[in-house]
Amino acid sequence: MPRDLPGTGIPGVVTFHDLLFERHPDLFPVIDRMSYRWRYRWSAEHATRIVAVSGQTRDDLVKWYGVDPERVTIIPPARDPAFAQAVPDLVAAAVRSRLGLPGQYLLSVGTLERRKNHRVLIEALALLDPSRTPPLVLVGRDGGEAAELSKRAEARGVTARVVMRHDVGGDDLPALYQGATLFLYPSLFEGFGMPIVEALSAGVPVITTAGGCFPEAGGPATRYVTSTDAVGLAGAIQDILADRELAARMREEGRRWALRFDATALAAPLVALYHSVLH
């Protein structure tokens, strides 16, 4: 928030996505942590009202900055409608061909960094029968973890079953999601987890992390596994791959859950919040 806003008498509403630097300070340089903490705490203290994108973020504001929960309204971010719109088969095939992807694949989208926890995907893949498990496709820029993931895949004997793509454009993502057999998102911590909603919108069964904000994004149709449990993750993958009815049910229920993240559905509570601040 602007530093001079309180002196103007104009009310202010500020949105917080996460307090990741407080929860995982080891992921941030000291100077960045100090800067974020100074600016975020000041904004939390001086805002008339606060929007948190998840209950997890609201709870973190209460825990670290002593914010009164009554000042916080939870309004998640809106999804991009492109993920719910069917991509023509020819377009999807062209995207897969250009990126060198197989016809079937397990998909994970997110920066290749330690927090996203792709390592557990490699461990789980190594436990699964290669004749019954599609390859794993990791899509995201290299945040310093790609080399370690490649070494781990080699050590587990799954190098040929792991595909990494760092330069995928946003326009290609709907086709990649819709072509996936399963979407895997084992992140250690998020403020919300929009890739989960994108996958559900695309009609893909999702396995993600138990606890935190993840059930808020994933809803009841998503499968949840402890983030460090490679055996549990492998079992969940195997269960869904082996049960077509389960996968179909997850796709259908996931699409319905994702409707609540349409911009039209989320505009009303945001407008109501603005009115409450003005009046």
Pair 58, 99 in one domain: no
Is there a domain that residue 118 lies in?
Answer: yes
pLDDT of residue 279: 82
- Dihedral of the alpha carbons of 209, 258, 162, 86, in degrees to the nearest 10: 170
DSSP letter assigned to residue 112: B
**Count of structural domains, the chain:** 2
DSSP letter assigned to residue 7: G
Pair 15, 131 in one domain: no
Pair 254, 269 in one domain: no
pLDDT of residue 89: 93
Pair 137, 197 in one domain: yes
The 3-state DSSP class for residue 139 equals strand
Pair 37, 134 in one domain: no
Give the model's confidence band at 27: pLDDT under 50 very low, under 70 low, under 90 confident, else very high.
confident
Which tokens in the block code for residue 240? 């869904």
Pair 57, 94 in one domain: no
Chain segment 137-167, per-residue pLDDT in tens: 999 999 999 999 999 999 999 999 999 999 8
Is there a domain that residue 112 lies in?
Answer: yes
Pair 94, 115 in one domain: yes
Is there a domain that residue 13 lies in?
Answer: yes
Which tokens in the block code for residue 189? 């911590």
Find the domain containing 201 and state its range: 81-260
Is there a domain that residue 14 lies in?
Answer: yes
Is there a domain that residue 1 lies in?
Answer: no
**Secondary structure percentages of the chain, helix, strand, coil, to 5:** 55, 15, 35
Pair 154, 256 in one domain: yes
Pair 40, 95 in one domain: no
Chain segment 245-276, per-residue pLDDT in tens: 999 999 999 999 999 999 999 999 999 999 99
Give the model's confidence band at 117: pLDDT under 50 very low, under 70 low, under 90 confident, else very high.
very high
C-alpha 244/C-alpha 248 separation (Å) is 6
Pair 124, 198 in one domain: yes
Nearest to 67 by CA among 46, 98, 82: 46
Average pLDDT, the chain: 96
Pair 218, 132 in one domain: yes
Pair 201, 102 in one domain: yes
Which tokens in the block code for residue 197? 């909603």
- Read off the CATH number of the domain in which 51 is found: 3.40.50.2000
Residue 112 phi, psi dihedral angles, 5° rounding? -80, 85
Question: What CA–CA distances, in Å, run from 206 to 5, 106, 138, 160, 196?
Answer: 43, 10, 15, 23, 7
